[in-house]
Amino acid sequence: MRNTPVIAFVLLTCIAVFMPLVAEARMGGAGGGGDSGGGDGIGALIFYILMMIPFPWNLVVIAILIVAFYIGKKKAKQRSILNSIPDPTKFSGKDNAVQLPGLDPESFTQKVKTAFVELQQAWAAKDMGKVRRYISDGMYQRLNIQFKMMDMLKQRNELTKIEVKGVYIDKAYQDGVNDVVHVAVHAVITDKFISDEFKQLASGGREEFVEYWSFIRKSGVAERDMYHSVNCPNCGGELPLDGGEVSKCPYCGTITNSGAYDWVLAEITQVDDYKSTNLLQDLSRNLGDRIAGLAEDYEGFSVQHIEDITSNGFLQIETARVLRKPEIMRRFVSNELYDRLTQEFENTAAFLYNRIFLTDVTLIGGLTDGNINKLTVSVKMAYQRVQINNGSLVILDASVSTQTRIVILSRDAKAQQPKASLYAHQCPSCGGTLGDTTDLQCPYCGSTLNSTMYEWIISDVMDVSNYTAYYKNNYNLFTAGIKPSKIDGLYKVRDYAFNNVLIMIAADGKFTDEEIEFANQIAKKWGYNTDKIQGMIEMARTGQLAIKMPEDVKDREKIYKLMEKAAHVDNHLDASEQALLDQVKREYLS
Ligand SMILES: [Zn+2]
Ligand SMILES: [Zn+2]
């Protein structure tokens, strides 16, 4: 008891000196500067403690400080965006508190559950008819391009034992004239990719996962439940189940997926992409308010809507590229871009996508260039290419990889109110329904379809380094824009390397207990908290990760070196590891 004042003094001193010490150490670490001030500071501090605190308490304080310093350092090192990726097998979600007028969480999550099961069934059947009425056109194209590829590869994706474990609202907010809700879906599916012709494309298994579904709706509409009825929300007629590129009622002509009647599914994002692009998404939302004035839309401006037409147009370009049918993209792109792309198609060897999906589509800027308004949108694409040579399959990419492209949309500053959406295959000038042709003249009113007078037209597609230069050169024209350096996700060099090494471990198609052990060893060696990155390991085990790389070339080299090192650590480099290293070198380092 008689020591109480001394202990109190010791503790107070600890608190007083602990904070500045850690702050100083971290600053030194970040800056990497070698000035002697820091050393002197610590020396002075130790001297101060030795002199001011009686023996042996002074030594105790110093010991506590040293331990606290190293714990702090370890904790700081363990910090990573990868920690926020949940282990799906242990996931227990909850609704975040959201406030959005007119959003009834109960009935909303019920709709999501229905949509989830119906969409899996539609996907397995390669037929979107049953769900067409409530998915956006961009979402439709995301699935449609994959169906086209699967058909060419004689592939199907069998899905059985579909189980929705939970649906949780993550974010809900107003986006211009629209409401947007992002919801986490936790589910388990037995997922088998089968190709009748190319057996080596077989993949899949039992998969538990978390992904984020994004829904959009016009603010303040009286909801007609489109999820539990197949009837037209406008006239009540029974909608046909052959819904194609456009979701239009054959009786009254209403477009069912405009968001005017009910929530529309616009995007599906894997949990790792959702977490890593969180910052970019938030920046983009703030951007929307500033760009809205510039881009004053016919039905009001909405970031999610711009992202949807970008997804749609971008995938039309990729479909045109693979099928060698430039007419597919003709009306969505400017004449200059059309000429450039058709040239590009002719100069590259034919290939197919075994996988192609958009992992993130985000509005990143808006500018006025003369009489034209432009929007810039970052599109992150994951893909794996294959070739069919004389009937046999050549796998071009050992693993699914990601690349970022910047899409530029252009429209006249004094644009006219369009009668209908070009991206829904309608003439913006007269509203007439368009057939699948290369014709740029509307058959009804004769107006030019890819005119920037009404609709946003894709005028350029560039990589991030070209966009960085573009942003710099046109900086004064931008009304608002996110710095190009922010386009990369929240991953750090180590996170990219770990993600890619996990894919390398899984590249032989198996993920044995030894390999899980190996993954944990690397995690520990690289300073991760192994408890917190099990989500990543589980995603790797079930084949849900894609190769990711930052834009910075030096960082790419560092990541490649770390991957190489990890591949050699078990003293033998197998063919699948080598193939993946070769792919990374080819795709990102040349
Ligand atoms: Zn109708
Ligand atoms: Zn027309």
Residue 25's pLDDT is 34
Residue 210's pLDDT is 93
DSSP string for 446-468: --BTT-TTTS-EEEEEEEHHHHH
Q: Ligand 1 center to residue 327 CA distance, Å?
A: 30
3-state secondary structure of 530: coil
Residue 7's pLDDT is 56
**pLDDT band per the 50, 70, 90 thresholds, residue 36:** very low
In angstroms, the CA 483 to CA 375 distance is: 14
pLDDT tens digits, 282-339 = 888 888 777 776 666 555 678 888 999 999 999 999 999 999 999 889 999 999 999 9
Q: Ligand 1 center to residue 239 CA distance, Å?
A: 8
Closest ligand to 237 CA? 1
In angstroms, the CA 466 to CA 469 distance is: 5
Backbone angles phi, psi at 561, to 5 degrees: -60, -40
Among 543, 538, 464, 536, which Cα is nearest to 496's? Answer: 536
Verify cis geometry, omega within 30 degrees of 0, for the bond prior to 56: yes
Q: Is the pLDDT of residue 26 over 50?
A: no
Arithmetic mean of pLDDT, 375-386 = 95
Residue in this structure with the two tokens 């008891």, named with its chain if needed: 1
Q: Ligand 1 center to residue 253 CA distance, Å?
A: 6
Q: Ligand 2 center to residue 414 CA distance, Å?
A: 19
Q: Ligand 2 center to residue 129 CA distance, Å?
A: 27
Torsion, CA 329, CA 334, CA 338, CA 341, rounded to 10: -90
Cα 249 off chain centre by: 32
Among 551, 403, 553, 570, which Cα is nearest to 501's? Answer: 570
Q: Is the pLDDT of residue 14 over 70?
A: no
Closest ligand to 247 CA? 1
Packed helices 513-525 and 493-506: angle between N→C axes, nearest 10 degrees: 170
Q: Ligand 2 center to residue 250 CA distance, Å?
A: 19
Q: Ligand 2 center to residue 429 CA distance, Å?
A: 5
Q: Is the pLDDT of residue 404 over 90?
A: yes
Q: Ligand 1 center to residue 118 CA distance, Å?
A: 22
Backbone angles phi, psi at 442, to 5 degrees: -65, 130
Q: Ligand 1 center to residue 492 CA distance, Å?
A: 51
Q: Which two tokens stand for residue 398?
A: 């050992």
**pLDDT band per the 50, 70, 90 thresholds, residue 489:** confident
Residue 513's pLDDT is 87
Residue in this structure with the two tokens 């990143």, named with its chain if needed: 364
Cα 455 off chain centre by: 26
Q: Is-contact 462 406, C-beta < 8 A?
A: yes
Q: Ligand 1 center to residue 231 CA distance, Å?
A: 8
Residue 11's pLDDT is 53
Q: Ligand 1 center to residue 256 CA distance, Å?
A: 8
**pLDDT band per the 50, 70, 90 thresholds, residue 434:** confident
pLDDT tens digits, 544-561 = 899 999 999 999 999 999
Q: Considering the chain, what is the average pLDDT of its residues?
A: 86
Residue 102's pLDDT is 86
Q: Ligand 1 center to residue 44 CA distance, Å?
A: 81
Q: Ligand 1 center to residue 214 CA distance, Å?
A: 25
Q: Is the pLDDT of residue 421 over 90?
A: no
Q: Ligand 1 center to residue 254 CA distance, Å?
A: 6
- Residue 303: CB atoms within 10 Å: 25
Q: Ligand 2 center to residue 451 CA distance, Å?
A: 12
Q: Ligand 2 center to residue 470 CA distance, Å?
A: 34
pTM of the model: 0.85
